[in-house]
Structure 1
Amino acid sequence: MLTVVLGLSGALVYGFADFLGGLASRRLRPVVVTAVAALVGIVPLLVGLVVVDSAFSGRAVVWGAVAGLAGGAAVLLLYTALAIGPMSVLSPVTAVFAACVPVVVAVLRGTALSPLAVGMLVVAVVAVVLVASVRDTSGARLTARGVAAAAVAGCGFGGIVLAYDMTPADSGVAPLVVARALQVVLLGMAAVVVVRRGGGDAGGGAGASVRRDGAGRPGGPGRLSAPAAVGRVPLLAAGRARWSGRLVATVVACGFFDALANVFVQAGLHSSDDPLTFPVMSVLNALYPIGTVVLAGVVLRERLTPLQLVGIVLAFGASVGLALV
């Protein structure tokens, strides 16, 4: 039960971070929002080092670095995918790969899944697809390159969970700090390059636009939250965007929630010795779009589609089933 609670909490908080990142991305380039949120997110993790017993063992540092590399690469690949293809297809592709890759690895490592567990995991994956599916009105064409980029990005997000699962149980937030520090460097460099080139994250200029919706998640626990936004959002030149108090607060909250979600994931992975803990956390973690679409409905009064509503119901039903396995 604790694993399910932590998994759902992490997914919801990831979704909240995405929503805030999407709002900020209306004023700034998404890659800039992501980089700044990563920098902000390292602060609460450093505080966590003081509050929680943490150990920077060799294993914790190595797997934390793997998580950071996987997250940074996944973010950039997802940006590429969303720039060249329809979100309505590529967002679910990413989420499904993020959910399924760790489960496949767990099975290959010898984890035995009961028929009920398999059924609940399948229902949860279906829920991921339904919640992440939205109508794309951009007219973007589906290409093999876009699908490949989205699939590899999903594998990267799944790799983050794999890496955190390999860290020692007594490492605390140490691996998260290592991963976040590496992401700050990688995404910071990417942001600098984008700003210097004077183009958007899709390669356009200051007036370019990017497709987003309440389900997209270009970020990860390294899934650093950036754009989940709504509709077609004009990208302003980062140098010209005005950092108002409200915008600063939005980015700070985005970084804080993203860091908190990482803590939930790490805690959930080490909450039990049950071999099902890893695959259950992997699939629940992929339910992050729920937090985004719910907040979009509450704050922006966006309406959930019937498919999304069905997906949310299935997600919670699968969570209850997994808690009873």
Structure 2
Amino acid sequence: MAIALSLLSALAYGISDFLGGIFAKRSSPWQVAIVGQMSSGVFSLLAAVLLAGSPTGTDLAYGALAGLGGGFGVAFLYRGLATARMGVVAPISAIGTALIPAAVGLATGDRPSELALLGVLFAFPAIALISRVVDDNPAHRGGVIDGVIAGVGFGLLFTFLGQIGEDAGLYPLALSQLTSLVSVAVTAIVLRQVWIPRDRRAWGAVVMGPLGATAQGAFLYATHHGLLSIVSVISSLYPASTVLLAAVVLREKIHGWQGVGLVFAALAVTLVAAG
């Protein structure tokens, strides 16, 4: 169950990142981030109302902290996607997204099986190969930096979501997506960027709401059925779908090492599932 939910999370994240990149290229990435997070928050709140849950104050606090990290991550991810190739930015963000919660999980008592641990070890070279960049374009190098910063934000998002209790329901998740708006707005203000969505094209990002809610909801429930160190790494394989979509729709080239990385990713998932 945990692996299936993690893969669903990765797929939803990958599609959402692809669409976010499209919208960010057409409008302001900051405005797209605001609209996307608002939409995800609304869908998560509706789901929270329909599903039973009894969150504690601690659960809500972890949800709020997750949102601050997630908002920071999505803001820099979309900024990078707006100026650089999707096949550059999204994969690089996955390194921090996987590494931080995996390290926290192992440090706090996760003890995966040897086979599952081998799968985790295969996942990191998979992400690294998919993320490998050989490009002299200055905009793409800037995208690398944005991808690294986004990875730190998403790593914190996954880490804090992984601390929410099983009985909390989706209210902490809805809170995380709403508090992420604060993180996006503050970051935009510090960088002197316009974040209030006045551009009509930015409102197209409202379609990303169900994807964002699905991605984070699937990840949250996956942590209730599996180890954070495993779930976070599998969910961090989301760049695979982003890279494939960018290749099919935008005709971005998949390099040989990225193809090898995709094979490693499939092997990682197989080993973790078998473990």
Match of 1:12 in 2: 11
Please state how far the C-alpha of 1:316 moved relative to its aligned partner: 1.4
Please state how far the C-alpha of 1:305 moved relative to its aligned partner: 2.0
Cα deviation, 1:5-63, whole Å, max 9, x if unaligned, reads 11111011101001111111122111110111111111211210222112232122111
Cα deviation, 1:135-167, whole Å, max 9, x if unaligned, reads 434136979xx86x7656433322211211111
Structure-2 change in CA distance of 1:200 and 1:136 (3 Å)? farther
Structure-2 change in CA distance of 1:53 and 1:157 (3 Å)? same
Q: Distance in 1 between matches of 2:140 and 2:19?
A: 28
Match of 2:157 in 1: 160
AA partner of residue 24 (structure 1): F
Q: Does the 8 A contact of 2:20 with 2:78 survive in 1?
A: no
Cα deviation, 1:286-312, whole Å, max 9, x if unaligned, reads 111112112223333434222222212
Structure 1 window deviating more from structure 2 (286-295 vs 31-40): it is 286-295
Please state how far the C-alpha of 1:281 moved relative to its aligned partner: 0.8
Q: Distance in 2 between matches of 1:132 and 1:122?
A: 16
Q: Does the 8 A contact of 1:17 with 1:253 survive in 2?
A: no
Match of 2:29 in 1: 30
Matched residue SS, 1:55: coil
Query: TM-score scaled to structure 1, two decimals?
Result: 0.73
Q: Distance in 1 between matches of 2:112 and 2:228?
A: 12
Which of 167, 170, 176 lines up with 2:167 in the alignment? 170
Which of 263, 267, 272 lines up with 1:317 in the alignment? 267
Q: Distance in 2 between matches of 1:297 and 1:258?
A: 22
Q: Does the 8 A contact of 2:110 with 2:228 survive in 1?
A: no
Q: Distance in 1 between matches of 2:99 and 2:108?
A: 14
Matched residue SS, 1:304: coil
Q: Distance in 1 between matches of 2:248 and 2:81?
A: 25
Radius of gyration: which is bigger? Answer: 1
AA partner of residue 64 (structure 1): G
Match of 2:138 in 1: 139
Q: Distance in 1 between matches of 2:41 and 2:89?
A: 29
Matched residue SS, 1:270: helix
Cα deviation, 1:254-294, whole Å, max 9, x if unaligned, reads 2321121011101111124xxxx211111112111112112
AA partner of residue 206 (structure 2): V
Q: Distance in 2 between matches of 1:87 and 1:19?
A: 7
RMSD (Å) for aligned C-alpha atoms: 3.3
Match of 1:256 in 2: 210
AA partner of residue 184 (structure 2): L
Which of 299, 306, 313 lines up with 2:256 in the alignment? 306
Structure 1 window deviating more from structure 2 (104-113 vs 283-292): it is 104-113
Q: Distance in 1 between matches of 2:85 and 2:249?
A: 25
Structure-2 change in CA distance of 1:87 and 1:133 (3 Å)? farther
AA partner of residue 321 (structure 1): L
Structure-2 change in CA distance of 1:188 and 1:153 (3 Å)? closer
Q: Distance in 2 between matches of 1:271 and 1:91?
A: 27
Match of 2:224 in 1: 270
Structure 1 window deviating more from structure 2 (92-101 vs 29-38): it is 92-101
1:89-108 to structure 2, matched below 5 A, reads 94-108=93-107
In the alignment, does 2:243 pair up with 1:293? yes
Match of 1:45 in 2: 44
Q: Distance in 2 between matches of 1:24 and 1:299?
A: 14
Structure 1 window deviating more from structure 2 (298-307 vs 32-41): it is 298-307
Q: Distance in 2 between matches of 1:180 and 1:138?
A: 34
Q: Distance in 1 between matches of 2:86 and 2:16?
A: 19
Matched residue SS, 1:186: helix
Q: Distance in 1 between matches of 2:152 and 2:211?
A: 23
Matched residue SS, 2:138: coil
Q: Does the 8 A contact of 1:77 with 1:153 survive in 2?
A: yes
1:111-126 to structure 2, matched below 5 A, reads 111-126=110-125
Query: TM-score scaled to structure 2, two decimals?
Result: 0.85
Q: Does the 8 A contact of 2:10 with 2:215 survive in 1?
A: yes
Structure-2 change in CA distance of 1:316 and 1:76 (3 Å)? same
Q: Does the 8 A contact of 2:29 with 2:82 survive in 1?
A: no
